[in-house]
Chain A
Amino acid sequence: MATAISVQDLRKRYGDVHAVDGVSFEVREGEFFGLLGPNGAGKTTTLEMVEGLRRPDEGRAVLLGEPSWPRNPALLRRMGVQLQASAFFEKLTAREQIRTFASLYGIGDERADAMLAEVGLTEKAGTREDKLSGGQAQRLSIACALVHDPELVFLDEPTTGLDPQARRNLWDLLRGINAAGRTVVLTTHYMDEAEVLCDRVAVMDAGRILRIGAPAELAAELEADSLEDVFLQLTGREYRE
């Protein structure tokens, strides 16, 4: 299988803090890849450098054969990104949001409405962004990331703050996205989620990757019962910021 993402020795420093301190990994096409780590481990900074939002101090990320920095509109058309906060235009309804985002990619209203239906938001199409529930807002932001049918999808903690029902629904949606042949990269700190969804995970802490592998392999390797135990063994039990 071809390589979708190739990350080579990414580094980012803020003052004296090495937020990301030499991260390398590869993601194959069609793979569901998880980036795990406690708060402050450098997941989001890593993901933002991979996406091309931030310029790495060192190293580079190559997506679908092209470096993600500097900004490359041709590459941006082939990737979809869901940001941690709900990046919606103020006072617009769900339908208006997705149609606006679709137009940025030259996608028509019909396809935008179909995408809204795909995430089960047709009934909420006329609801304004601030009146959507947490789960609905997450689904809308994922729909906005997928509206242009990208090959590569990045999701930053998509299920944070959702109730169990909304989480399970979203899992089904994410599995569907991956089953349709898209490469998916997600960050999360829910280990059950990573275990269920991801083909492979990378466990990060203090700006470095500690282990990479399939959840079951990591568990076997460390003689742990679950990915959660693997995670705690690798990153310790102290409180994080």
Chain B
Amino acid sequence: MKPFVSLSKAMALGLLRDRASVFFILIFPLMFLALFGALFKDAGVSRATVVQVGAVEVFDDLPAKARAGLDDVLEIEKSGDRAEALEKVRDGDADAAVWEEPGGKVQMRVSAADPVQAGSVGGVLRSVVDQASIAATGQEPAYTLTGGQVEDESLKAIQYFTPGLLGWAVAMGGVFSAALGLVSWRKKRILRRLWLAPVRAGPVISARLGVNMLLAFGQTAIFLLVATIPYYGLKLDGDWWLVIPLVACGSVAFMSMGFAIGAWAKTEDAANGLAQIVVLPMAFLSGSFFPLDEAPPWVRTISEVLPLKHLVQAMQDVLTRGGSWSDALPVMGGLLLTAAVFTALAHRLFRWDAS
């Protein structure tokens, strides 16, 4: 036990004192989370803009509550000039222009450039006018529609980026530190020095894994802390804590990939290059930075074999979609299987000496 403890301590100190690697592993991915989380915060909730020319009774006389509901979906600008309002619609600065003609005729003009937006604006305005018409008859409506909200299956930006970028961070931390660490230990002959000490491979490797796993847990904690501040607004509920075993298994899998790279590479530069080539495309193809829903089928086929894709997916499930053991367990198994494959590869490629 003693060599394990002292080696873990030595590795942890060595890692934490290396400011560049702390920045690279801990701070860098966090910057992406802070940035992307802020940039895409309001994506997908853009309101339509309607220019109201002059007085339009159905809008102006809306009760306050209905008016607030309308403001959630429409931004109503007032204008005195119909030509100017139409020009705005034509230029795409506004989605619709409305005015009222004598006899209760509400006129609406939309642009054909964005039929989807035009359709939804039209739908909203029509319902307002219809409701006003029914109210004007003084009768109770024959049919009513009562709405409620279902659990939101579409992901808000932060719900998407937190698991995505965390997965990328864990992959990067695991692959790079294992690959560069192995090459550096070989070059500095620490591998040889350890061979000459009466210590088994077990404590050495598990110390390395343990330190990296703690680092990955640190990343996870920081990510979740940042994502749950009210500004970003990630909510943790259900079995969100399943990210911890998922991150642990992911860390082991990515370290084994790093060991294979480190075993193959002769120099730190080579290890660094190969690690980049592995991690960055894997992150893109695994949906760490953007969703793959729109990606061509062959991209999605490739992504199916990438361990990071499954880690990100499973973390998304347990963090934001109420997922549980059934989502996490198969992925954990797959990650450990990946670890076994790459460990075997690393073992085959392993060299004691640089020459």
Contacts and interface: CB of A to CB of B under 8 A. Distances in A.
Interface stretch (B69-77, B131-139, B149-157, B191-199): B191-199
Nearest to A144: B193
Interface string A30-56: 000000000000000000000111000
Contacts of B6: 99-100, 103-104
Given A88-B190, A99-B6, A104-B3, A76 B196 contact: yes
Interface stretch (B9-17, B100-108, B322-330): B9-17
Given A83-B189, A85-B188, A87-B189, A105 B197 contact: yes
Interface string A77-103: 101010111111111100010011101
A53 B192 contact: yes
A58 B163 CA distance: 56
Of the candidates A52, A89, A104, the one having the most CB atoms from chain B within 10 angstroms of its own CB is A104
B199 to A, nearest CB: 5
Chain A contact residues (Cβ within 8 angstroms of B): what range?
20 to 34
A83 B193 contact: yes
A88 B188 CA distance: 7
Contacts of A13: none
A106 interface: yes
Contacts of A99: 6
A74 interface: yes
Nearest to A97: B10
A18 interface: no
Nearest to B6: A103
Given A90-B14, A92-B14, A101 B188 contact: no
A12 to B, nearest CB: 13
B60 interface: no
A132 B9 CA distance: 21
A73 interface: yes
B184 interface: yes
B197 A90 contact: no
Nearest to B191: A87
A90 B18 contact: yes
Interface in A105-132: 105-106, 128
Contacts of B195: 53, 71
Given A90-B18, A96-B10, A96-B13, A101 B197 contact: yes
17 contacts: A53-B192, A83-B192, A83-B193, A86-B188, A87-B188, A87-B193, A88-B190, A89-B10, A90-B18, A90-B188, A92-B14, A100-B9, A101-B193, A101-B197, A104-B197, A105-B197, A106-B2
Interface of B: 2-3, 5-7, 9-11, 13-14, 17-18, 184, 188-190, 192-199, 352
Given A92-B14, A96-B13, A104-B199, 17 more contacts: A52-B196, A53-B192, A53-B196, A71-B195, A76-B198, A79-B196, A83-B192, A84-B189, A87-B188, A87-B190, A90-B18, A91-B13, A100-B7, A100-B9, A100-B10, A103-B2, A104-B7
